[in-house]
Amino acid sequence: MDFKRTHLFQVLLLLGCLIVLGVKVECQKGSWSFSYVAPSCRAQSVSIAEFGGVGDGTTVNTEAFRKAIEHLSEFSETGGGQLYIPPGRWLTGSFNLTDHFTLYLHKEAVILGSQDLEDWPLIPPLPSYGMGRDAPGPRYSSLINGYNLTDVVITGDNGTIDGQGAIWWQKFHKKILKNTRGYLVELMYSKDIIISNLTFLNSPAWNLHPVYSSNILIQYVTILAPLDSPNTDGIDPDSCSYVRIEDCYVVSGDDIVAIKSGWDEYGISFGMPSQHIVIRRLVGISPTSAIIALGSEMSGGIQDVRAEDIQAINSETGIRIKTSPGRGGFVKDIFVNRMTMVNMKWAFTMTGSYGSHPDNKYDPNALPAVERISYSNIVATNVSVAGKLDGIANAPFKDICLTNVTITMAAKSKKYPWNCTYIHGLSNAVYPQPCSLLEERPAEGDAFCPSPQELDTTEENSLQHCSYSSSH
Ligand SMILES: *[C@@H]1O[C@H](CO)[C@@H](O)[C@H](O)[C@H]1NC(C)=O
Ligand SMILES: *[C@@H]1O[C@H](CO)[C@@H](O)[C@H](O)[C@H]1NC(C)=O
Ligand SMILES: *[C@@H]1O[C@H](CO)[C@@H](O)[C@H](O)[C@H]1NC(C)=O
Ligand SMILES: *[C@@H]1O[C@H](CO)[C@@H](O)[C@H](O)[C@H]1NC(C)=O
Ligand SMILES: *[C@@H]1O[C@H](CO)[C@@H](O)[C@H](O)[C@H]1NC(C)=O
Ligand SMILES: *[C@@H]1O[C@H](CO)[C@@H](O)[C@H](O)[C@H]1NC(C)=O
Ligand SMILES: *[C@@H]1O[C@H](CO)[C@@H](O)[C@H](O)[C@H]1NC(C)=O
């Protein structure tokens, strides 16, 4: 065979095709081929169908997922493993992932969350929260869980993970849930994580919840939940370091990205901040909440958050800092650059009296420190209130800086576009004219507001391109 034919032969093999008489080509049913980037490529690949999985939308596949992942966990130290989800509707209860592992969904694959609450076993509350967020005591597992893992990839060709959350939202509204709802994905105490090229639908509560984890890339993800679904936050990095959220589209009934770090006395004693977080090219719609929220659970501290090229549409608020006496901790070194907003209630909010305490054991003298918050190059149109910025009387929010912010007020806007209490800061080129607590200063030199230092990326793994094919 000449070079061209050899090459064609290889390509067809990759596509899982059977070559008959050199001419007739049959691509076998159930074969697959794909590629993606990962911290390392995997030595073993299996399909959920090989472990008794049935993608008919009604068979519960929890055992198939558990068995397949248990099998692949045997290879975590010898090249890693990958679980392929072919086209179909794969109903399942909660399952745990393993180390050096990839979950890959075909574009027509849908993982469906079981409607039987028993399929979401109860687990202890998060130590930095002391109790469940909806109710004290244990909480439901998430649909996909990871504990103490290294090198996990959840990806696909825009396949779907659908939590079928309506049953949970109804029970939550009727106040008949005895335990806190689970999430779609929760990865705890883990590192080197990629979640990419997938669509997440209808989570019972938050969608993606990395917690006590580091080196996380969330990319090309679509997250959709009904606008009135309760607490369906998009992406909530919680006590996490080195997180990159890029090119995501999120529509939800709560915050689009909410950075957190534990709740009151439990978060203070756990003491693990969220830091070194980059959010880029995010588009969000959140009519009842924020596009980017810092808090309200922030007792371990939040620092060094860089948000760039963010688009807010039809939302309650663009950027919101929420905290309370009793939280302790800090929110500092927050840099938002290049953001557009349309049809908003508030462009910016800071809430120093958010309340929402786990119990009455919090220390009212544990005051959060909110400082060095910069908002630059922002254009907002059809906004009811430009800024509602309320700090805390004996712990004012300080070093707030706004520059090049142009807000076009809605026809029926409030008389005073800004309303500020217990904050200090500076402003330059902000329209309409900001509250007097954001003192107007002329710009001297290039950058009026501080800009972040180069992010140290030595903790980031280099990624490899991995290709796989099969003809099962
Ligand atoms: C993920 O999505 C991006 C943007 O659509 C695309 O460029 C990339 O090839 C996709 N990756 C995979 C593995 O499908
Ligand atoms: C996942 O692992 C944790 C920790 O080992 C365990 O408590 C939990 O029961 C497991 N969950 C499932 C669904 O297997
Ligand atoms: C995970 O690590 C944490 C902290 O190191 C430890 O407390 C916990 O028991 C571990 N959990 C599992 C399931 O291994
Ligand atoms: C992925 O699927 C979602 C939901 O169907 C869709 O809105 C989105 O545009 C798709 N993304 C890509 C890159 O095809
Ligand atoms: C302005 O935004 C409000 C929602 O905040 C919306 O109802 C209204 O239609 C928008 N007006 C225009 C002119 O787009
Ligand atoms: C102000 O911000 C807008 C929108 O990001 C940008 O196009 C413009 O160049 C900025 N102006 C200055 C002086 O930086
Ligand atoms: C600012 O908001 C408070 C309520 O939070 C209100 O009482 C006060 O009148 C507002 N001030 C202005 C100038 O709108």
- Name the DSSP class of 461: P
DSSP characters over 427-449: EEEEESPPPTTEEE----SS-SS
Please tell me the predicted confidence (pLDDT) of residue 458.
62
Q: Nearest C-alpha to atom 12 of ligand 4 is from which residue?
A: 158
Q: Which helix (H) or strand (E) holds 208?
A: strand 208-211
Please tell me the predicted confidence (pLDDT) of residue 462.
81
Q: Among the options 254, 255, 264, 390, which is catalytic?
A: 254
Residue 359 Cα, ligand 3 centroid: separation in angstroms? 26
Please tell me the predicted confidence (pLDDT) of residue 459.
59
CB 318 within 8 A of CB 288: no
Q: Going by C-beta distance under 8 Å and a sequence separation of 6 or more, which residues neighbour residue 151?
A: 38, 39, 40, 80, 99, 100, 101, 191, 192, 461
Residue 186 Cα, ligand 2 centroid: separation in angstroms? 12
Please tell me the predicted confidence (pLDDT) of residue 171.
97
Please tell me the predicted confidence (pLDDT) of residue 415.
83
Q: Is 340 helix (H, G, I), strand (E, B) or coil?
A: strand
CA 433 to chain CA centroid, Å, is 34
Q: Nearest C-alpha to atom 7 of ligand 5 is from which residue?
A: 343
150 CB-side CA count, 13 A: 7
Atom of ligand 4 nearest to the CA of 158: 1
The Cβ of residue 11 has, within 10 Å, a number of other Cβ atoms equal to 11
Angle, CA of 385, 422 and 431, to the nearest 5°: 35
What's the Cα-to-Cα distance from 315 to each of 67, 311, 347, 353, rounded to whole Å?
43, 10, 9, 21
| Structural domains of the chain, with CATH | 63-254 (2.160.20.10)
* 121 within ligand 2 shell (Cβ under 6 A): yes
Q: Nearest C-alpha to atom 2 of ligand 3 is from which residue?
A: 148
User: How many whole angstroms separate alpha carbon 406 and alpha carbon 356?
Assistant: 33
Q: Which helix (H) or strand (E) holds 409?
A: strand 397-409
Q: Is 254 a catalytic residue?
A: yes
| Ligand 3 interacting residues, C-beta cut-off 6 A | 147-148, 189
* 160 within ligand 4 shell (Cβ under 6 A): no
CA 156 to chain CA centroid, Å, is 17
CB 330 within 8 A of CB 301: yes
Consecutive 10-residue averages of pLDDT for the chain (472 residues) = 41 39 43 89 96 97 98 96 98 98 97 98 97 92 98 97 98 96 98 97 98 97 98 98 98 98 98 98 98 98 98 98 98 98 98 96 97 98 97 98 97 89 97 96 86 75 86 56
Pick from 175, 349, 350, 355: nearest CA to 263: 355
* 145 within ligand 2 shell (Cβ under 6 A): yes
CB 105 within 8 A of CB 111: yes
- Name the DSSP class of 369: E
* 288 within ligand 5 shell (Cβ under 6 A): no
Please tell me the predicted confidence (pLDDT) of residue 471.
63
